[in-house]
Structure 1
Amino acid sequence: MSQQPKITVIGSLNMDLTVTSAKRPAAGETILGERFETFPGGKGANQAVAAARLGADVTMIGMVGQDPFGDELMQVLRQEGVKTEHIGRADTSSGVAVIQVVDGDNSITVIPGANFKLMPDYIEEKRDVIQNSEIVLIQLEIPLETVAAAAKCCEEANVPYILNPAPAQPLPYEIINQAAYITPNESEAAILFEDTDKALQEFPDKLVITKGEEGVVYSGGHVAAFPVSAVDTTGAGDTFNAALGLMLASGSPLAEACSYANAAAALQIGSHGAQAGMPTDAEVIAFMRQKEENPL
């Protein structure tokens, strides 16, 4: 990457508690798992780390608790080069995500903790950070009124923002309309829009739907995925969004940005943990070149 786009991430920080097992327990059933690990996560923090690894100048706005998890989450971000001076400390526990991985796919339960203490007035205090950004990344693991405040601030500052609507919930039209790009997966798109095909036409070059192995669709076309064997899909969407934001902030066309983001996400799912396998820009470029030369 020839330049360092300024990216601000507004979102969650969680400690991911990951259980790997051969099956998911039924109601009332106890099973033996195969592995338990802890990983720093949260959709906001994941996107911040992914963007920093790819070469962006990243600032994060969020909230952690006054606990050891909060200390660790902040330390990890700093080690990755993310600016953390705009992350607050709330008088509560840090956010936690309980993740069960079965056959490379995951189910996630999120306990928001301090993430739900990130309120609109805190966003207003950080208006200058947003104004100095080239693009802003926002997700839905923080209060919806905070998302609305951030969207309004971006609009007033004329700074584009990417809304990653996860976990999915119905959204006010204003939030959707103010976003430069909206990036749901298939299930999230079905919650947001009654008719996704109609929505793709209503929001041309704004609505970008990720479809896993089928790649990405938007009103202007389809971008194929890079076939890989998944180890853990946790964080794949976050890597995609960070890479997409990086490329769009650098002036790339949407199709090119989606292809790069697909490659970054494909590399990420080859490792356990949301942040562990997030690639560098050089790794993404090399991977894309390899796939171009040897498509099978």
Structure 2
Amino acid sequence: MNPSPDILCIGSVLWDIIGRTEMALATRRDMGGLITRLPGGVAMNIAMTLARFGMAPAVLTAIGGDPEGDELLQAVAQLGVDTRFAHRIAERPTDRYMAIEDATGLVAAIADAHTLEAAGADILQALHDGRLATAQQPWAGQIALDGNLTAELLAEIAGSPIFSAADLRIAPASPGKAERLLPVMAHPRATLYVNRQEAELLCETAFDGSRAAAEGLVAKGAARALVTDGGTDASDAARGAETFTRPAHVVRPRRITGAGDTFMAAHIYAESRGAERADALKQAQAAAAAYVAFADDGENGD
């Protein structure tokens, strides 16, 4: 019998197709580099990082009924992530994310999450039918929720009794989808993980750093907010509590896609093991720095 998951990761599980070059990429030019295909998506990135830390995460997501979906589920399971509750849609293709990165960071990306969006609330069936929880006995553990879900589903989640007892950890999929989180960020047990640009979109104002952004989100209605600001710093603000800020580690970036998800997963893991807020922030910063400095060819950055 499979054990109960430690945490549920709800959102996108797809194929990440990432092209990277060590040079600065000029517009409309070809460049030599490395192209990889790996399991990805916000929910998946968080889940597989937690699995590496020794936790038992499960994903609630939508997977196409195509051979790419079969292959993806097999790859995800091999990474230690529970896929029992994934929703398959026979007539749809498996979602994909495509990004181009160069020496300066992310150049451009396109996220095709149409199968996840089409599934809607069907991905939450295990929280209704007793496999994980019911409306009468809602899931009371941690849930990592990503902004690839539709605005309508996120709004439904914000007021649903299914999520009333959960420790919600929320991340946008991208700045372009950050505003989808407005309804659910007000959940009384939610922690929001965003970068400074996303915080500015949610608050409709500019901030001079991660600390002001985190405190701005709390003033906007979030119970707690963690804000990263690239290679500068990160802050943790909570309603009625002290704000903590820590400088980012100085590293030479070798990859960017997934760094925010790694930060979030490391922070969740640290707190699940009893770390205080300041120490959990420190551990998350260290994990994110190690992630962006790691090279696909096996060499570490400076």
TM class by smaller structure? 0.7 to 0.9
Equivalent-residue separation in structure 1 for 2:170 and 2:196 (angstroms): 15
For the pair 1:190 / 2:200, whether they are aligned, the reply is yes
Corresponding letter in the other structure for 2:57: V
Q: CA deviation at 1:190?
A: 1.2
Equivalent-residue separation in structure 1 for 2:223 and 2:12 (angstroms): 27
Q: CA deviation at 1:6?
A: 1.3
Deviations 1:227-261 (A, max 9, x none): 22221011111111111122223332222211111
Partner residue in 1 for 2:154 = 147
- SS state at 1:118 partner: helix
Tell me: CA distance 1:207–1:88, structure 2 relative to 1, closer, same or farther (3 Å). Answer: same
Corresponding letter in the other structure for 1:114: T
Q: TM-score, normalised by structure 1?
A: 0.81
Name whichever of 8-17 and 197-206 sits farther off.
Answer: 197-206
For the pair 1:69 / 2:68, whether they are aligned, the reply is yes
Q: Is the 8 A contact 1:13 1:64 kept in 2?
A: yes
Name whichever of 176-185 and 248-257 sits farther off.
Answer: 248-257
Partner residue in 2 for 1:199 = 216
Partner residue in 2 for 1:223 = 246
Q: CA deviation at 1:137?
A: 0.4
Tell me: CA distance 1:154–1:51, structure 2 relative to 1, closer, same or farther (3 Å). Answer: farther
Tell which has more relative contact order, 1 or 2 (C-alpha 8 A, sep 6+): 1
Deviations 1:118-151 (A, max 9, x none): 3124415424536445211011122222233344
Deviations 1:45-82 (A, max 9, x none): 11110111112121110011112321222112211211
Tell me: CA distance 1:221–1:200, structure 2 relative to 1, closer, same or farther (3 Å). Answer: farther
Name the % identity. Answer: 23
The count of corresponding residues between Structure 1 and Structure 2 is 271
Equivalent-residue separation in structure 1 for 2:5 and 2:36 (angstroms): 33
Partner residue in 2 for 1:94 = 94
Deviations 1:13-64 (A, max 9, x none): 12112222334453xx342332222222111111110111112121110011
For the pair 1:239 / 2:270, whether they are aligned, the reply is no
Tell me: CA distance 1:245–1:172, structure 2 relative to 1, closer, same or farther (3 Å). Answer: closer
Corresponding letter in the other structure for 1:199: G
Superposition RMSD on alpha carbons, in Å?
2.7
- SS state at 2:293 partner: coil
Q: CA deviation at 1:201?
A: 5.0
Tell me: CA distance 1:270–1:133, structure 2 relative to 1, closer, same or farther (3 Å). Answer: farther
Q: TM-score, normalised by structure 2?
A: 0.80
Name whichever of 165-174 and 50-59 sits farther off.
Answer: 165-174
